[in-house]
Structure 1
Amino acid sequence: MERKVNLKDVARDAEVSLSTASHALNGTAPLTIEVRERVLNSAKRLGYLERRRKRATIAALRVLLLAIPDDAAPQSDLNLVSWTILNGLRKECERRGIRTVPFVSTGRRIDGNQVRQIALSERADGIVILNDDQPDLIRSLASADMPVVIINGEDPAMLVDTVTPENRFGARLGIDHLLALGHRRILHLTWKGRTTIQRRYDGFSDAFLAAQLPVLEGMILEAEGYEPRHGEAAINALLDQDPEMRGATAIFCAADNLALGCLKALADRDIRVPEAISVLGFDDIVRGEFSRPPLSTISVPADRLGAAALSLIEQRLIANDPHRPAHRLELGCHLVLRGSIAPPR
């Protein structure tokens, strides 16, 4: 009776370690294209690949459909977070030898039926959605016969996998620091964003509750959007109405773009940062390093979200389990202190 080929045989034939062969077949670690292809070719030639496929235990993520809403496409320096996410995903796909099929919606929302049709026509093995977590889209894609991951979004219905920065704890980390410095009247500059932005408000509130301090009324300032001009306009309008800015000694901005506009408005009124008021951002975009003063912020691992999404897709392919529960993966943030924060006067 002929001996069955095992993983050791594949590793020996491909001239790699046993663990490397396992990672290449299971998609459990990033490998170079050359190493992954060498292992797969050995597995195919020895008959191991076909046997594993029959048992539905091999990760076969070769083609990925990437769907992006029009306003998230990298068109300017206003959406550097999206650009960083996409660039990280692109690099990881190149590293793993995954072909990416991009789809950019014609409007601000993605059509789930259209995404499914393109995925089928391109024979995609998985779908990644960036910055769109509308319930109708999620319900449409949840019934697709392939793994779906939303990057930088949430799914309260828990139908698909999601990857996002830890927005809530990240915001709390920043407010904890401001409270430790002695700030109590902290203004939160935000906008009507998606749930990811709402989580930053949740973290803002959590920090006060954990410190057994009240969340003061009137300390939420809503801008019309997330761009620097929106932050500038909101602060200017507040200063026109109330030069004391509701007694705030610090401003927590829900995004660095808002913070940059905030800094400009304050500078135009000769309000010194951080001497007169502290400003904290969120995202850690490059422009914040070169603002005056350099912006303190919460840094999100935007460049790591893509790799995390690919791992979730590969895990789902390996599991081959229609009853596998949706996974929610949150990547940690950290506080970056530069020159825009100081204790209150």
Structure 2
Amino acid sequence: MSIKQVAKIAGVSIATVSRYLNSPEHVREKTRRKVQEAILQTGYAPNALARNFRRGRTSLVVVILPSVGDPFFAGVMRGIWRVAREEGYSILIRETQFNTLEFDEYSDIVFSKQADGIILLASTSPFMKEGNGKLGKNGGHKGEKLPPIVIGCETVAPQLSHYPSVRVDNESAAAEATRHLIRLGHRRIGFISGLHTSLLTRGREQGYRQAMTEAGLEVADNWIAEGRQTIEGARGAVHYLLAQSPRPTAIFCANDEMAMGAMHELRRAGLRIPEDISVLGFDDIRYAEVLDPPLTTVAQPAEEIGEHTMQRLCRAIGGDDIGGEPEIVPHRLVIRESTGAPPAD
């Protein structure tokens, strides 16, 4: 069925049917009912692609994230999908695997206006590389304008700091978690960070350092190890920390995936958790509660972050000025059995 047949049955012009399909609020109620009845009678289904093209929209959002297999990002994506469905958007996902995307990989999609907006989940932007001769600070090659960008979770590069974001206060959350270990009696607390080149876990390291300094405790350089935000990276970091003398009595991991790797490697070394060494994570992924022992961690509201990020992007796509300030969502410390008092010296 065509729009022409719908117009004929409804007794209105093709322009009126088109106006109803694109901006029903601009059509009188009596006329709306006629068009609705004609559509039901004919079974007419408008061509969404063509309609979006006429409106200058594609209803497509690009989401760029480090790893689709990361349990935390899976939670964030659930929130994004939920709002996307409600708002009529499709999602195109690009996984970086913690690497920087090449500019040309997604530039065609973005600058040919095949995407209405971009969400960066703890990822650098492939559309903002300075010094490559293709892209300036705020726009694209030959002056093309970038669509709206919203960052979910942490800003991972200084040049993205002016973009709006939705996240927890990482520094405050990590300081609270470190204070929990200090209250238990720990004085030698190790920290497993993410990639040293990324800002992703830098705020968490700053919070750890802040709490240690406030308590008058030393932050030894050999008690901080890079875990690359992965299970495998954390296992290597544990080997390094256990080789120190004196070694830490507790290890704070900058995410739960690294905490899982750390716990595995500590058990392989014959250490009991928390009797011999405590472990604390960050994110409260779905596996944290069922680990052996259950993991003490900082809970981030992953789905809420995803929902708010997508909602903020939708407002920007609609023309609202959403500003560049971060939206801070609440965290909470979840205390479980992986932390306890330090062993007697």
- TM value normalised by structure 1: 0.71
What is aligned with 2:192? 189
What is aligned with 2:67? 72
Q: For the residues of structure 2 that align with 1:41 and 1:121, how far apart are their CA atoms?
A: 25
- Which of 100, 111, 132 matches 2:123? 132
Give the partner amino acid of 2:195: K
- Residue 204 (structure 1) shift: 0.4
Q: For the residues of structure 1 that align with 2:246 and 2:210, how far apart are their CA atoms?
A: 21
Residue 173 of structure 1 pairs with residue 176 of structure 2: yes
- Residue 257 (structure 1) shift: 1.6
Q: For the residues of structure 1 that align with 2:23 and 2:323, how far apart are their CA atoms?
A: 33
- Residue 294 (structure 1) shift: 1.0
Q: For the residues of structure 2 that align with 1:250 and 1:87, how far apart are their CA atoms?
A: 33
Which moved further from structure 2: 134-143 or 300-309?
134-143
Which moved further from structure 2: 113-122 or 124-133?
113-122
What is aligned with 1:146? 147
What is aligned with 2:224? 220
- The verdict on how the C-alpha distance between 1:197 and 1:135 changes in structure 2, with shifts beyond 3 A counting, is farther
**Secondary structure in 2 matching 1:326:** coil
What is aligned with 2:246? 246
- Which of 322, 327, 330 matches 1:329? 327
**Secondary structure in 2 matching 1:173:** helix
**Secondary structure in 2 matching 1:188:** strand
Q: For the residues of structure 1 that align with 2:96 and 2:186, how far apart are their CA atoms?
A: 43
- Residue 165 (structure 1) shift: 3.0
- The verdict on how the C-alpha distance between 1:161 and 1:238 changes in structure 2, with shifts beyond 3 A counting, is closer
1:56-101 Cα distance to aligned partner (Å, 9 max, x none) = xxxx9872422325x5233xxxx11222222221122112322334
Q: For the residues of structure 1 that align with 2:330 and 2:246, how far apart are their CA atoms?
A: 32
What is aligned with 1:206? 210
- The verdict on how the C-alpha distance between 1:192 and 1:125 changes in structure 2, with shifts beyond 3 A counting, is closer
Unaligned runs of 5+ in 1: 1-37, 48-59
1:121-171 Cα distance to aligned partner (Å, 9 max, x none) = 455332222232259627648323531112233153443222233222211
Q: For the residues of structure 2 that align with 1:108 and 1:216, how far apart are their CA atoms?
A: 29
Alignment of 1:79-158 (within 5 A): 79-104=70-95, 108-112=99-103, 115-121=106-112, 123-133=114-124, 137=128, 140=135, 142-143=138-139, 144-154=145-155, 156-157=158-159, 158=161
For the Cα contact (< 8 Å) 1:61–1:314, is it kept in 2?
no
What is aligned with 2:336? 338
Give the partner amino acid of 1:292: D
**Secondary structure in 2 matching 1:88:** helix
For the Cα contact (< 8 Å) 2:71–2:285, is it kept in 1?
yes
- Residue 252 (structure 1) shift: 0.6
For the Cα contact (< 8 Å) 1:250–1:277, is it kept in 2?
yes
Q: Which has the higher helix share?
A: 1
Q: CA RMSD in A?
A: 3.2
Q: For the residues of structure 2 that align with 1:342 and 1:320, how far apart are their CA atoms?
A: 49
1:302-324 Cα distance to aligned partner (Å, 9 max, x none) = 21222212232244355655xx7
Unaligned runs of 5+ in 2: 1-19, 30-55, 140-144
- The verdict on how the C-alpha distance between 1:318 and 1:211 changes in structure 2, with shifts beyond 3 A counting, is farther
- The verdict on how the C-alpha distance between 1:135 and 1:61 changes in structure 2, with shifts beyond 3 A counting, is closer
- The verdict on how the C-alpha distance between 1:319 and 1:298 changes in structure 2, with shifts beyond 3 A counting, is same
For the Cα contact (< 8 Å) 2:110–2:147, is it kept in 1?
no
For the Cα contact (< 8 Å) 1:251–1:280, is it kept in 2?
yes
**Secondary structure in 2 matching 1:218:** helix
- The verdict on how the C-alpha distance between 1:122 and 1:46 changes in structure 2, with shifts beyond 3 A counting, is farther
Give the partner amino acid of 2:276: A
